[in-house]
Amino acid sequence: MNTKKIAIILIPLNIILAFLIYNSINSEIDFQAAAKNRIAENIQKLKDLRQVQIAYKKVKNNYANNFDDLIYFLENDSMPIIKAIGERPDTLTDAEALKIGIISRDTTYQLAKQTVFNSAYLKTRNKDFPLEISTLTNIPNSNIKYKINSGTIEKGKVLVQVFEISTTYKNVFTGMKAENKNYDLNSLLKVGSMEEASLNGNWGE
């Protein structure tokens, strides 16, 4: 076989090889973009659930340890809104000003979901992922719920209430071919901690 014939044979092989390499690179780029989006959506949901847990504790004096209680609180309970009426002189404390009637407090009540997800909080949310209370506890793109836990730990000889809401990266990437990628599918994406007094997420807050 002469050199010209070898070259003719190699041309289509090189084209096929180039296509396969190009397709492989594109597939990896597509996966990483989709993975980044999945993680961002789950992070936003975990932030939303943290917001509800913080409000729940303010009213109930403990964190919820199941989603039924947490969502019932959000949908049906009320939270106090306290407004200050009058202006306190710098020479007096709030208690003193209240006692002599210079200022007063007006308390009204609002549905928990309106207080928890008020306009100030909504401005901080990722606008790519609309807030849906009905699916708040579900991991996006799956039929799986997040895992929730709460309890107490000892911190400096004091019992501190803690909570954790989490899922695995395997659940985050449901329906995606995530094996052999740069992710430990058994590791957790979570907010809060059952081991330390923290409200932070483990995504680098």
| pLDDT score recorded for residue 22 | 40
* pLDDT tens digit sequence for 90-139: 787 877 777 777 777 767 778 899 999 999 999 999 999 999 999 999 99
pLDDT cut 90: percent of the chain above it:
63
Residue 41 CA to residue 21 CA, distance in Å, equals 30
67-76 helix and 3-60 helix, angle to the nearest 10 degrees: 70
β-strands 147-155, 104-111 pairing: unpaired
Q: Which of 43, 25, 17 is nearest to 203 (CA)?
A: 43
β-strands 158-168, 188-192 pairing: antiparallel
| Contacting residues for 5 by C-beta, under 8 A, at least 6 apart | none
| pLDDT score recorded for residue 61 | 95
| pLDDT score recorded for residue 24 | 45
Tell me the two tokens of residue 10: 């190699």
* pLDDT tens digit sequence for 151-166: 999 988 899 999 999 9
| pLDDT score recorded for residue 68 | 97
| pLDDT score recorded for residue 201 | 97
| This model's pTM is above 0.75 | yes
| pLDDT score recorded for residue 19 | 44
pLDDT tier at 79, thresholds 50, 70, 90:
confident
Tell me the two tokens of residue 203: 């995504």
* pLDDT tens digit sequence for 173-193: 999 988 888 899 999 999 999
